[in-house]
Amino acid sequence: MKGKILVTGGTGYIGSHTVVELQHSGYEVVIVDNLSNSRADVVDNIEKVSGIRPAFEQLDCLDYAGLDALFTKYAGIKGIIHFAASKAVGESVQKPLMYYRNNLVSLINLLELMPKHGVEGIIFSSSCTVYGQPDVLPVTEEAPIKTAESPYGNTKQINEEIVQDFVKSGAPINAILLRYFNPIGAHPTALLGELPSGVPQNLVPFLTQTAMGIREKLSVFGDDYDTPDGSCIRDYINVVDLAKAHVVAMDRIMQQKQAEKVEVFNIGTGRGLSVLELIHAFEAATGVKLNYQIVGRRAGDIEKVWANPDKANNVLGWKAEATIEDTLRSAWKWQVRLREEGIQ
């Protein structure tokens, strides 16, 4: 075994895919999740995919005493991957205090407990949202952090500063901040995927639910942007590729290969794709025609962003591999399975 890793939010979308990759790579995994945005049976599906059942504790990361006891119960945890957070941009505007409490205090609790329990390193789930609308594209890690467009985005910026300041204070820990672009798709087995509660806010789950007939049509939020076809551009990254980036990052920490005590990496493909291009790629990849219409812009949307992934490729030693077609096929296969299982 390579060591014991705590994955907070490990029954969530990205967390569950990362648990499987960690297990494949030889890590022992302990999941903590309060199931506020996921289901306990995800643990069963992780076991089906990897053949290894991870330890699972239903616990809120806001529960300091509960976390303290968890580190004692699972002695020897050497690393943490911290996914647990609230992540709905629109909801964060309506409920800012819930977002600040959940996303900031959960991280502070973990950081405070790390030295006490000999935990060497933490990987934090950050987001390209910290860049806002970059002035230069593709965007590098040196790009300026812009004023957040939402309380959610602000929690990511503040979390990054909390990690930096704690390490600067002399804390005996190392950290890697991974700034994800737009994760999409599902596990090739269709046993793991995104399970949005209620009406999906993100493009791909809304698209596959429309293709399944759950939604009547997909609204394309604007075609009057300064882009080739007028629709917004994003860097859509396969969730399994994203999960693998966490394994490479954890190896880097565990093998003490970091150049600095806190490192930041953009985790994206380096490929910008417009909304309309993604829709057409879905139709071509699956043969499923999509009912969509162009409507007005969505408030808060930035026009275009895609990663310069050179640092992750050359320093971290990770590169996105999946094609957009395979990724969209995996999203569709997952949606079909949800229907077959009567889940959605």
Q: Which two tokens stand for residue 328?
A: 């969209």
Chain centroid offset of residue 320 CA: 14
Which stretch, 35-43, 57-65, 197-205, 241-249, contacts ligand WQD (CB under 6 A)?
197-205
Pick between residue 12 and residue 272 the one whose CB is nearest to ligand NAD: 12
Among 59, 143, 232, 239, contact with ligand WQD (rule: CB under 6 A):
232
11 close to 54: Cβ distance less than 8 angstroms: no
CA angle 154, 160, 162 (to 5 degrees): 100
Rg, Å, the chain Cα set:
19
Cβ neighbours, 10 Å, residue 16: 30
CB of 9 or CB of 121, closer to ligand NAD:
9
Tell me whether residue 112 or residue 301 sits nearer to ligand WQD (CB atom). 301
Whether 225 is catalytic is no
- Can you spell out the DSSP letters for 24-76? HHTEEEEEEE--SSS-TTHHHHHHHHHS-PPEEEE--TT-HHHHHHHHHHTTT
Site for ligand WQD in 89-128 (CB under 6 A): 89, 127
Using the rule CB under 6 A, is 177 a contact of ligand WQD? no
Q: Are 77 and 31 in contact (CB under 8 A)?
A: no
Catalytic, out of 13, 99, 152, 180:
152
Nearer to ligand NAD, 35 or 294 (CB): 35
Alpha carbon distance 270, 272 (integer Å): 7
Give the one entry of ligand NAD, ligand WQD, none that residue 14 binds, where binding means its C-beta sits below a cut-off of 5 to 8 angstroms depending on kind: ligand NAD
Neighbours of 162 (CB within 10 A): 16
Q: How far is the CB of 186 from ligand NAD (least distance, A)?
A: 12
* Residue 33 binding result from ligand WQD, ligand NAD, none, given CB thresholds of 5 to 8 Å by partner type: ligand NAD
Within 13 Å and on the Cβ side, how many CA atoms surround 10? 31
Site residues, ligand NAD (CB under 6 A) = 8-9, 11-15, 32-38, 60-62, 83-87, 102, 106, 125, 127, 180, 182-183
- Residues labelled catalytic: 152
- Binding stretches for ligand WQD (CB under 6 A): 87, 89, 127, 129, 182, 201-203, 206, 218-221, 232, 234, 275, 298, 301
